[in-house]
Structure 1
Amino acid sequence: MRNGFKIISFFIDPGAIQPFVQNAGFQSGLLQTIVDDRWSETNRDVYAFWPRLSTLYNLNNNQPSTWWLRNGSFLRLKQVDLGYTLPNLKKVAIKSSRLYFSATNLFVISKFKMWDVEMGGNGLGYPVQSIYSLGLQVNL
């Protein structure tokens, strides 16, 4: 604590995570993402996410392979607490008081953009929520 201020933060970096995203886009409604990152005559990128997109059943897009593994590493600011202890207010019969702000899941840095990798699975779950709290603690 310095000059009445107190800051506590908690970051998480789980290291190597590799989500398996085979067919995940179709299941979670990421159709625009799929269309934008596919191999085609006009987009001859050999590293396009979808090797061959078709309206018909296509075995190539359903074969288990390391092709469907993606780098899911991330850094998340999981928790931060900021507090300020107000100066002595004995003149107004207050022993102590503290103003604080608390937040959970403020931001995440990751190259994986299909879904929040901390959700796990294939992106179909409820997303990780951010929570913000602001308060005043007064002791009379």
Structure 2
Amino acid sequence: MACSGSDEDGTSAPIKRSDAAKDAREEDTTTPPAPVREAGPAPIPVTCPIGTAVEVESNDTPEEANAFTETMFCGTLSSGDDVDYATFDTPPGKKLTVFQGIINGKVDFELSVGGSKFGPGDVDKFTSGTYLVKVFTKGADPASYRFRIQFD
């Protein structure tokens, strides 16, 4: 089947298929696909020593906190909006005496026990009981963390 078009003088002239395809390509006004974007910074890997409790999602609320009995805990924060919670109990007759955090990124910790909230440096507030640890980032990038606890 032949196509036709008009010459400059208005008369009809046959158009070859290759010319029709070329004309269609030149007149194509569709938007090319957008370039593939990176999905933001890559997650930061966390190294968890043997015997360390490892974060398990979903632990984004106090009700979903990861309960652990080990003396070390580690995890990652995937973005600036990610928050992790973990909980542990002090052994009978003992109290928390050390909370040591190791971080990669802008990570902060908030501890609470018996209705009191404090930071890891507030050693004078450490006591016995069930602790809730909130781990969050003050930045927008992924981060990783580990913390170690000790009782005396």
Give the TM-score, by structure 2 length: 0.23
Query: Between Structure 1 and Structure 2, which shows a larger proportion of strand residues?
Result: 2
Give the TM-score, by structure 1 length: 0.24
Larger radius of gyration: 2
Between the two structures, name the one with larger relative contact order (CA 8 Å, sep ≥ 6): 1
Query: Between Structure 1 and Structure 2, which shows a larger proportion of helix residues?
Result: 1
